Amino acid sequence: MRGRDEDTGEFFSESRSQNRREALEVLALGEKLVELTAAQLARLPIPEDLLEHIEYSKRITSHGARKRQLAFLAKQMRREDDATLDAIRDALEANSETSRRAVALMHRIEHWRERLLGQGDAALAELLDEYPGADRQELRTLVRNALAEKAKNKPPRAFREIYQVLRDLMLPAQAAAGQDEEDVEHEFDDLDDETDARD
């Protein structure tokens, strides 16, 4: 049973419900970590011994065993000091925001590529208004080649090149708008890896 300070009336230690809330927060953090890719985990300040428990948890597929392993992982995480867990949470939050920006930019690039292929010079003129540094002739040639590839049922080499050209054009513009180009580029690499794995 907890003691109480006779002068102030305050409890000497945290309540059981507070301890339970903190334990559940650590469990939720552990579940988030287990869902991350290896590349995402590598960018977080996770101690090596904890990383081993996370990697092991990722391999377990049985529902009951996974639940027990997550509870064990949370127990190991609670042994870490608060500063370590806070650093992981902060980095995870920052990566989450970076990931959202990377996905939004990827969709923007795909949208422009579809417009270029569907609307031709009209879309190209709008793109050049927004990104004056774009190479009109290169994009026009790539669009023509991509349409020819599609018509002849050839591999979409020019189609992919359009994406790369647009990415190289838009990524620095996003960085100039105050977003970290290197972080977004890492997220793009992860997204590209996931797309390649699905193909």
pLDDT per residue over 5-17, tens digit each?
Answer: 566 666 555 567 7
> In this structure, what token pair is assigned to residue 18?
């507070």
Q: Give phi and psi for 51, each to the nearest 5.
A: -60, -35
- Average per-residue pLDDT for the chain: 81
**From the centroid of its chain, how far is CA 199?**
20
pLDDT at 176: 61
Which pLDDT band holds residue 3 (cuts at 50, 70, 90)?
low
pTM of the model: 0.50
> In this structure, what token pair is assigned to residue 115?
């417009």
Tell me: pLDDT of 172 over 90. Answer: no
Q: Which residues contact 99 (CB under 8 A, 6 or more apart)?
A: 187
Which pLDDT band holds residue 85 (cuts at 50, 70, 90)?
confident
- Which position has the higher pLDDT, 145 or 176? 145
Which pLDDT band holds residue 197 (cuts at 50, 70, 90)?
very low
Which pLDDT band holds residue 138 (cuts at 50, 70, 90)?
very high
Tell me the C-alpha distance between 122 and 30, whole Å. 50
Helix H or strand E encompassing 146: helix 136-151
Tell me: pLDDT of 195 over 80. Answer: no
pLDDT at 63: 87
Tell me the C-alpha distance between 36 and 160, whole Å. 27
pLDDT at 147: 94
- Comparing CA positions, the residue from 2, 13, 57 lying closest to residue 31 is 57
> In this structure, what token pair is assigned to residue 77?
């995480």
Residue owning tokens 């579940």: 31
Torsion of CA 8, 17, 79, 56, to 10 degrees: -170
Burial class (CB in 10 A: 0-12, 13-18, 19+), 173: middle
- Which position has the higher pLDDT, 192 or 170? 170
Mean pLDDT in residue range 91-107 = 79
